[in-house]
Structure 1
Amino acid sequence: MTLQVTRSNHLIDLTTGHPDPDLLPVDLFRSLSLERQNLAYGQQAGSDLFRQTLSEWLTEDYGQPVNADELLVTNGASNALDMICSLLSQPGATVLVEDPCYFIALKLFKARGFNVVALPMDNEGIELQALEQAIEQYNPAFIYTIPCFHNPTGITQPHRRRQALVKLAAEKQCVLVADEVYQSLYFDQKPPAPLASYDRNAPVLSIGSFSKILAPGMRLGWIQGSGELLHRLTNSALLFSGGGLAPVTSALVGALLARGEFQSNLTHLRQTYAARSEALYDGLVSTFGDQIQLKKPDGGYFLWVSFVDGRDVASKRDQARALGVNYLPGNLCSASGQFRSSMRLCFAWYPQPQLITACDRLGLVFS
C-alpha cells in the first residue's frame, strides 16, 4: 500500500496524526456505485441529498438539530480552514489562537502572513479574560479554537465554557472558527455540541471532517454555520465558478451514512482508539510515574505529556529517533515557542504492542 506517510520498520513515529492504515475500511466502498449527476459540476454548497443525509447523522450524533442549509461541503478540514482564511482576512491581519495549538494551523496562518497571537489555556480551554482583552487590543480577523479533544492537549471545553465563548463572540462580533474534527471520536461520554450549534445569530463557523472518522483519502469535510458568514463562503468565486466541492466522494460517503455502515465503522474506531489510548497512557505512567503530568484521553488522537521538572524535551528528539521512537515537541505546537518540556504523542497510528514498545524507548531517552 502506498501512503502519503509510510510506517518505518525501525521507528515508532508518534508524531503522525493519521488513522492506522489497517483501519481504513476499503471493503465498505467495494459495493458502492455512482449516478451520472455525481460526475457533473456540483451545487455550490454541495449536494442537497448529501447535506440532508449528513445533517440527519449529525443531528443524531451531536444530540442537537443540524439543518442541511447550515452545511457547506469542503475537501476536508484543511480546505475548509483555508477557505475561511481567504474569506475573512488579508496578510497582516491578526488571528487569535490557543497556546498550545494545532501546529499545521499555525503553519497555515503564518504562510498567509497573519499576525498570530497566542493566548493561554486552562483546564477548560482558552481563557476567556485573556481572550476578551486580546479582542479589544487587536481587533482580530477571527479566533481559532479546538473545542473537543484538543490537538495537542486533549482538553474538551465544557458546556459552560462553550456557552461563554460563543456569547463573547456574539457581543464583540468577532468571528469564532471552531476546528471540531474530533467531535465524534469520543470513547465513552458524548461531548457538548459544536460551537456553531449554540447560537445561530453568533458569528461562529464549525469545521468537521471525515478524515479522522472514516478515511483521510476521501478529502471530505464540511463547515457548519449560518447567516451572512456561511452565505459569503457558499457564494465565493471558487464555488460560483467551479461548483460545489467533492460531488463524487460525498455521494459515496452519503450512501454509507444512509445504510448505517458508516456508524458501525465509527463505533469500531471508537473502541479501537480507546484501547490504544489506554495502552499508551498506562505505559507512560508505568515508565515515568510522577515525573510527568498527563490527562487520560476521553477521545481524539493525542496524549499531551509534560515533565514536571521542566526538562528540555525538544533537545532530545535526535536521541529519541536514534533509539527508534519519535514525538512532536511541545514548542512546535506553540506560536510563542513555549512548552519545551512537553510532547504530543499520537496513539491512533499503531496497535497496542508498538505503543508499549514506544513507552520503553521513551524511558531510555529520558532516563
Structure 2
Amino acid sequence: MLKTAQTSLTEGVINLAVGHPSLHMLPLREMERAAAHRFAAGNAEFLQYGAEWGDGLLRTELAAYLTREYGFAVRPEQTFISGGTSQATDLCCAMLTQPGDTVIVEDPTYFFAFGMFRDHGLNIVTVPVDEHGLDVDALEALVAQHSPRLVYTIPVHQNPSGVTLTQERRERLVRLAQENGFYVLADEVYQLLTFEGAPPQSFAAWVDTGHVLSLGSFSKILAPGSRLGWINAREDVLERLAHNGAVVSGGGYSPLGSGLIRSMLELGTLPEYVAGLRDTYRRRSAALADALDDLRPLGVDFARPAGGYFIWATLPTQAAPLLPLALEGGVRFQPGTLFSPHETQPDRARLCFAFYEEAELCEGVRRLGEVLQRAK
C-alpha cells in the first residue's frame, strides 16, 4: 500500500483517481544516461548553489525546445526555472498578491490549488467552465465585481474537465487582464501532452503584455520526482519572483536536477520520451473511452479527450455517496465535488488513464459498471 496526498494505492482496488504515471513508465534509463553525461563533463557547477532564475544553460536549451514545440519564439531571458507548478503557483502568490486579494479560479479546477491560495489569504471566487473552457463572458462580470489580482486557469486539457480554452477566449482573457490590471496564471502542464490534433497556442505567446505567466512542469513530461518546472513571463515579472526571500537564500531550484534535464535536452532524449508518452496516453485514453462507451446505457456520459490525463464523466447518480460502494467493488474515482470550493459537480467523476495499462483500465470500468447496476 502506498499513500501520499497525491497517491492512495490499495491492493485489490483499481484506483482511477490517481493522477500521475506508474513507476514503470518513469525514465529511469534515460535519467541514468543523462547523469552519466552530466558528470562526465567534469564541471561541478551544477553541484553548487544556483542562480536565482535557474540554470542559464537549461533555460537556453528549454527555450529552444519550447520554441520548436510551441511554434513561436520562446526566449531564455523570459524563462525562469521553478520547483514545479505547485511551487511556481505558490511563488506567484507570495510575490504578486497580498492577503485579502481575490483570485478567480475555474469551477471545476485542480483541487490542491485551493490550499495554496488560502495559505496566502486570498479570496477565492469561481467562474464556470463549459465545453470551450473558461466562460469569459461570466469572467468579465466577475472582474468588474471583484477586481481580482489573479485569474488562475488550466487552459489546455483541463484538470479535471479535459476541455481546452478556445483561441478567441484566450485573446479575450488577455485583453481583460490588460484592461483591468490582473495577472493570468496559466497552468499549462498538459500543453505538451496533446495526442489528438494540434495543440492550442500556449499563453507564453502573450508574456510581453506583462500580464501573463505561463507555467510548465517536468512532472508531467518527465518525472514527478524531478520537482522542476518553468515559468514564462516578461523579464520584469520574473525579476519580482527572483526577489523572493527563499529564492535569494537558497538560490535557483535544484541545480543538480537542472543539470540532468539539461543533458536530456542536449542528448535529444527528452523530446523522444515525450513523444512516447503521447503515444502511450493516446492508446490508454482510447481504451478507457471505449470501455466507458459500454456504460452509456446506464446513464454515463463523457467527451473523448484529446490530451492530458483525464476523462470527466457524468454519472447517473451523485458520485461522492457512490464512492464507498465503488471501493467495495474494487474501483476508485475522484468525485466531482472535490474540484469545487462550493462542492458543485455532484454527479461528476474524474477518471485518470495515465497510471494503468489498457487491460486494467477496462477492468476498472467493468467494476464501475457493476457498481452502477447495484446502485440503481
**In the alignment, what sits opposite 1:68?**
76
1:108 aligned counterpart, secondary structure = helix
**In the alignment, what sits opposite 2:304?**
296
Is 1:141 paired with 2:149?
yes
1:262 aligned counterpart, secondary structure = helix
CA contact (8 A) 2:336 2:347 kept: yes
Is 1:173 paired with 2:175?
no
Is 1:89 paired with 2:97?
yes
Report the Cα distance in structure 1 between the residues aligned to 2:3 and 2:61, rounded to whole angstroms: 30
CA contact (8 A) 1:320 1:365 kept: yes
Is 1:18 paired with 2:24?
no
Report the Cα distance in structure 2 between the residues aligned to 1:6 and 1:36, rounded to whole angstroms: 38
**In the alignment, what sits opposite 2:225?**
217
**In the alignment, what sits opposite 1:28?**
30
1:263 maps to a residue whose letter is P
CA contact (8 A) 1:167 1:202 kept: no
Q: Per-residue CA shift, 1:10-69, capped at 9, x if unaligned?
A: 011111111121100100122323331001111110111110000000000111110001
Report the Cα distance in structure 2 between the residues aligned to 1:169 and 1:290, rounded to whole angstroms: 43
- 1:335 Cα deviation after fit: 1.8
**In the alignment, what sits opposite 2:162?**
154
Report the Cα distance in structure 2 between the residues aligned to 1:363 and 1:110, rounded to whole angstroms: 37
1:334 equivalent among 340, 347, 350: 340
Report the Cα distance in structure 2 between the residues aligned to 1:3 and 1:362, rounded to whole angstroms: 22
TM-score, normalised with respect to structure 1: 0.95
Report the Cα distance in structure 1 between the residues aligned to 2:209 and 2:118, rounded to whole angstroms: 30
1:178 maps to a residue whose letter is A
Q: Per-residue CA shift, 1:90-120, capped at 9, x if unaligned?
A: 3332110011011111232234332211111
2:331 maps to a residue whose letter is V
- Residues 1:102 and 1:2: Cα distance change in structure 2 (over 3 Å): closer
- Residues 1:3 and 1:56: Cα distance change in structure 2 (over 3 Å): farther
1:96 aligned counterpart, secondary structure = strand
- 1:337 Cα deviation after fit: 1.2
CA contact (8 A) 2:288 2:365 kept: yes
1:189 equivalent among 159, 179, 197: 197
**What does 1:195-206 correspond to in 2, within 5 Å?**
195-206=203-214
Report the Cα distance in structure 1 between the residues aligned to 2:2 and 2:346, rounded to whole angstroms: 34
RMSD, aligned α-carbons: 1.7
1:43 maps to a residue whose letter is A
Higher helix share: 2
Report the Cα distance in structure 2 between the residues aligned to 1:317 and 1:3, rounded to whole angstroms: 18
Q: Per-residue CA shift, 1:237-288, capped at 9, x if unaligned?
A: 2222221112111110111111111111111111011110111111111123
- Residues 1:190 and 1:3: Cα distance change in structure 2 (over 3 Å): farther
Name stretches of at least 5 consecutive residues in structure 2 with no aligned partner: none
CA contact (8 A) 1:166 1:202 kept: no
Name stretches of at least 5 consecutive residues in structure 1 with no aligned partner: none
Report the Cα distance in structure 1 between the residues aligned to 2:165 and 2:350, rounded to whole angstroms: 19
2:152 aligned counterpart, secondary structure = strand
Aligned length: 365
- 1:227 Cα deviation after fit: 4.0
- Residues 1:202 and 1:171: Cα distance change in structure 2 (over 3 Å): farther
> What is the percent sequence identity of the aligned residues?
39
Deviates more, 1:192-201 or 1:296-305: 192-201
1:176 maps to a residue whose letter is V
**In the alignment, what sits opposite 2:238?**
230
CA contact (8 A) 1:64 1:193 kept: no
- Residues 1:91 and 1:71: Cα distance change in structure 2 (over 3 Å): same
Report the Cα distance in structure 2 between the residues aligned to 1:285 and 1:112, rounded to whole angstroms: 43
